[in-house]
Amino acid sequence: MERLSTGALAARFMPSDAKPSQPDSGAESTGVSARTRILRGAARAFGRMGFGATSVETILADAGVSRRTFYRHFRSKEDVLRVLFESSVSMLIAAVRETEKLPGSASDRLDAAVEGYLRVHAEAGSLARVLLQEQFSPDSPLAQQRDAAMEAFRALIARGIEREGRPAVDPILLHGVVAGINQITVQMAVEHPEGDWDIPRAKAAVLRLLAALS
């Protein structure tokens, strides 16, 4: 998987002033690889139309690449969706880990971690809504990646508890809290489909869930 910086997912795949490129107009000359153009085009198309209504042809038009170029990098639109989802998870984990060495109390670091996690979602705008909802759709192409992501976040929280010298929590409680946090992000994405999330409200809800692990 292509390694991402810790900037917003939207900035990487959905620049606000981006417009569809001319077909195969020369990715090399713009400094943007064909693969990244496809991901950006798919992110715009998915965010605008939803995953189900987006065809490979729509992605080609938004990315400005030929069918041959698309299939050189991806097998299907489901394959593109999986890469976007995995990229978003990488950025969410990075946003949380960046707070681990911040000065201040454990409570301050937890507050910063939750805010960073929520802001990566919010700044991804309509793409976050699609990824969050699509991961739980029937026969979701993201099922395997979703389960791996949930496990990664459970492990991240468990390590944080261990670092603070607190007793390990019951795994079933940890599963429930992580599922609840994910559901809060889904609700925010539904209420604010373009990404203007109510961060303070969402953060308060997440912190209340995490308090159950104390």
Q: What count of other Cβ atoms lies within 10 Å of the Cβ of residue 196? A: 11
What superfamily does domain 78-211 belong to in CATH?
Answer: Tetracycline Repressor, domain 2 (1.10.357.10)
| pTM of the model as a whole | 0.85
Instruction: Single out the residue of 179, 193, 174 nearest to residue 135, CA to CA.
Output: 179
Tell me what pLDDT residue 101 has: 87
Tens-level pLDDT at each residue, the chain (214 residues): 333 332 345 445 544 334 444 555 544 445 579 999 999 999 999 999 999 999 999 999 999 999 999 999 999 999 999 999 999 999 999 999 999 889 989 999 999 999 999 999 999 999 999 999 999 988 899 999 999 999 999 999 999 999 889 999 999 999 999 999 999 999 999 999 988 999 999 999 999 999 999 8
Measured CA to CA, the distance from residue 202 to residue 184 in angstroms comes to: 7
- Exposure string over 87-111, b if 16+ CB within 10 A, otherwise e: bbbbbbbebbeebeeeeeeeeebbb
Beta strands in 31-149 (DSSP E): none
Q: Where does CATH 1.10.357.10 sit in the chain? A: 78-211
Token pair of 21 as six digits: 């490129």
Whether residue 42 contacts residue 80, with contact meaning beta carbons closer than 8 Å, is answered with yes
Tell me what pLDDT residue 23 has: 54
Instruction: Single out the residue of 6, 5, 10 nearest to residue 126, CA to CA.
Output: 10
Instruction: Single out the residue of 8, 183, 210 nearest to residue 110, CA to CA.
Output: 210
Q: What is the residue type of 185?
A: T
Tell me what pLDDT residue 133 has: 92
- Helix ranges, 16-105 (H): 27-30, 34-49, 56-63, 67-73, 77-97
Tell me what pLDDT residue 32 has: 77
Whether residue 213 contacts residue 173, with contact meaning beta carbons closer than 8 Å, is answered with yes
